[in-house]
Amino acid sequence: MQIDETIAQAALDVVERYFAALNAGDADGVTEVFNFPHFRIGATGNVTYYPDANANHLENFRNRTRADGWHRSVIDDMAAVFTLPAKAHVTVSFRRLRADGSVIGAYHSLYIITKIDGHWGLQGGSGNGS
């Protein structure tokens, strides 16, 4: 399968900005990364529909991760595995860490990045932990 390097780089940049915004607690940054409307596919296969900019996404993320002490996530490996002119699939391996640096878990996810109205953004993702 041929990968368009320009599209792949745009998609990788979106994923990096998403992780950076989550780690920084930057709600505006998280919201900016998303394309709307979109569907988000959870690890259990449940689909959540976000019709517009989701201002509470970061707070929802914090609520889900606070109990296990999440402090930040570190990307270990990332690659674009599929590209079309306005779409890319990016696989990401990452670890979730506590403030002391101890590992909560390691995960492998697939993120769908799309170009809507000239803007590359995260359209959805799924993943699992190990």
Q: Which domains does the chain have, with CATH numbers?
A: 5-125 (3.10.450.50)
Q: What is the mean pLDDT of residues 121-130?
A: 72
pLDDT in the model for residue 26: 83
The per-residue pLDDT for range 79-114, each reduced to its tens digit, is 999 999 999 999 999 999 999 999 999 999 999 999
Please give the Cα distance from 58 to 118 (Å, whole number): 24
Tell whether the torsion through CA atoms of 20, 96, 69 and 124 is positive or negative: positive
Other beta carbons within 10 Å of 130: 7
**What's residue 15's pLDDT?**
96
Q: How far apart are CA 111 and CA 92, in angstroms?
A: 8
Q: What is the mean pLDDT of the chain?
A: 83
Given the structure tokens 């920084």, which residue do they identify? 24
Res 123: pLDDT:
80
What is the arithmetic mean of pLDDT over 49-73?
Answer: 73
pLDDT tens track for 3-48: 999 999 999 999 999 999 889 988 778 878 877 655 555 556 666 6
Q: What is the pTM of this model?
A: 0.81
Find the helix or strand (DSSP H, E) in which 6 lies: helix 5-24
